[in-house]
């Protein structure tokens, strides 16, 4: 399932448990609104996400949010995590570029 900035902000401001993976090549400041959301994210390479979820003993019912530069890498990983039994996998629509586009429209 793809989510946008509004859904991402809602998730980040609720006390609910979730795991957020930032799959970009490097973490650089982007925009104050987006940076605030990214505070709870783990910087990771796509190949490391599944082992990291297992290492953290994340149950399949906990939401997992994936964000890459343009959304493509996150969408590929989405399918892998669903096959592995994760029930709530979310991809930031269009990745960081999608979020920036949403901010420009507002």
Residue 87's alpha-carbon distances to 1, 63, 71, in angstroms, are 11, 7, 19
- pLDDT tens by residue, 11-69: 777 777 888 888 887 766 667 777 766 666 767 788 889 999 999 899 999 999 999 88
Q: What share of the chain is helix, strand, coil (3-state, %, to 5)?
A: 45, 15, 40
Each domain of the chain, given as residue ranges in start order, spans: 2-105
Model confidence, pTM: 0.84
Architecture of domain 2-105: 3-Layer(aba) Sandwich (3.40)
- pLDDT tens by residue, 68-98: 888 999 999 999 999 999 999 999 999 888 8
């Amino acid at each position: 399932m793809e989510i946008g900035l509004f859904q991402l902000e809602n998730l980040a401001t609720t006390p609910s448990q979730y795991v957020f993976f930032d799959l970009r090549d490097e973490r650089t400041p982007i925009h104050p609104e987006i940076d605030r959301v990214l505070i709870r994210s783990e910087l990771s390479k796509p190949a490391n996400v599944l082992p990291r979820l297992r290492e953290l003993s994340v149950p399949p019912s906990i939401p997992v949010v994936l964000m890459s530069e343009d959304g493509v890498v996150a969408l590929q990983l989405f399918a892998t995590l669903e096959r592995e039994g994760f029930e709530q996998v979310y991809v930031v629509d269009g990745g960081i570029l999608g979020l920036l586009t949403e901010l420009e429209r507002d």
